[in-house]
Amino acid sequence: MVTANYYREYSPIFSYRIWYFRDGVCEYMSRLEDLVEIAYPGEPHCPIVLLLDTSGSMSIHGKIEDMKEGLRAFKEELSSDDLARKRVDIAVVTFGEVVEVAHPFSLVEAFTPPTVIAAGLTPMGEAILSAIALVKERKEQYQNTGIDSYRPWIFLVTDGEPTDMYEGDPLWKEVTGAIRSGEENGDFVFFSVGAEPADMNILAAISPPGRDPVRLRENRFSDMFVWLSRSQAKVSTSGTGDQVILEDFFGPTGWGEIPLF
């Protein structure tokens, strides 16, 4: 307990002053803020897992190159937002030849878009489970270190259909069950985007109820990633009780459309 005594003084110039005596020595502080220390808390984190298809088909029509450019735009756009760059926590899981965490979670400044190479099949089921596990692990880290967070996003981008699971098989049931229960429990938000020639029916069957997959128009990966970065910027700066309204991407000039089944 500080045993110093404080006294107030009226002043026509300063609205008030706080006189401060300790050990018989007198000095004054003109502002309360000079007397106190604040907790200097860490920023709340806004986690997102980019779940990217890097199967061989992504090399067709330069999609993998467009995706790389989109990732660069994603980082650039987030870096330009003072608050988002301190809060958005990005991880990348790729699935093609293998399923791998191509970039562990990091804040925007430390995020380097990973090198992605198109090769192999489309082990989407395993990749989705990997992303869900990554989110769970990250949330535990937040909990253990006292970091506040926003609800994580898992953002799937593919141009194909899963080759490691088929509707009704055990892995399919495990994956779709994990997505549905994760959404229902508020563990994460799951989005899926299909670039041509993705099977949108399969994506719709995987997606949680009420959140249809979006078809990417004309391989506009950069526009999609810029939208994603702006959405993350909005979420990461939202306050308690705020309702976040995302930018519309369905308009005539938008990057996405909802397929009609």
Partner 1 sequence: MPVFQSVEYRYRISGAAVAGPSHQAEGIPCEDAWDAAVFGRTGAAVAVADGLGSAEHAKEGAMVAVSAAITALSAFFDPWPDGSGCDADIEKNGRMVRAACKAARDAVLTHAASCGLSHRSFASTLIILLWYGNTLTTARVGDGAVVCLQGDDIILLSAPSDRRYVNEVRSLMDDEYEDACVVSPDIPAVTACSVFTDGCERLFLDKKSDGYHPYEPFFQPFFSAMMPLTGTPEGDRAIADLLVSDRFITFSEDDKTLVVIVSGIERGEDTE
Residues that bind partner 1 (CB under 8 A): 1-2, 4-10, 15-16, 18-19, 31-33, 35-41, 44, 83, 143-151, 186, 235, 237-244
Q: To which residue do tokens 């804040």 refer?
A: 107
Considering the complex, what minimum distance in angstroms separates the CB of residue 150 from partner 1?
Answer: 5
Q: To which residue do tokens 């190479």 refer?
A: 117
Distance of alpha carbon 117 from its chain centroid, rounded?
23
Tell me whether residue 9 or residue 257 sits nearer to partner 1 (CB atom).
9
Q: What is the largest CA-CA distance in the chain?
A: 82
Considering the complex, what minimum distance in angstroms separates the CB of residue 1 from partner 1?
Answer: 4
Considering the complex, what minimum distance in angstroms separates the CB of residue 34 from partner 1?
Answer: 9
Considering the complex, what minimum distance in angstroms separates the CB of residue 112 from partner 1?
Answer: 27
Q: To which residue do tokens 């330069």 refer?
A: 62
Tell me whether residue 245 or residue 260 sits nearer to partner 1 (CB atom).
245
Tell me whether residue 37 or residue 248 sits nearer to partner 1 (CB atom).
37
Query: In whole angstroms, how far apart are CA 123 and each of 66, 118, 120, 239?
Result: 21, 13, 9, 37
Considering the complex, what minimum distance in angstroms separates the CB of residue 143 from partner 1?
Answer: 7
User: Could you give the 3-state DSSP secondary structure of residue 25?
Assistant: strand
Residue type, 144: N
Tell me whether residue 16 or residue 166 sits nearer to partner 1 (CB atom).
16
103 close to 114: Cβ distance less than 8 angstroms = yes
Tell me whether residue 36 or residue 260 sits nearer to partner 1 (CB atom).
36
Q: Within the chain, where are the H helices?
A: 63-79, 84-87, 124-145, 170-184, 200-206, 221-236
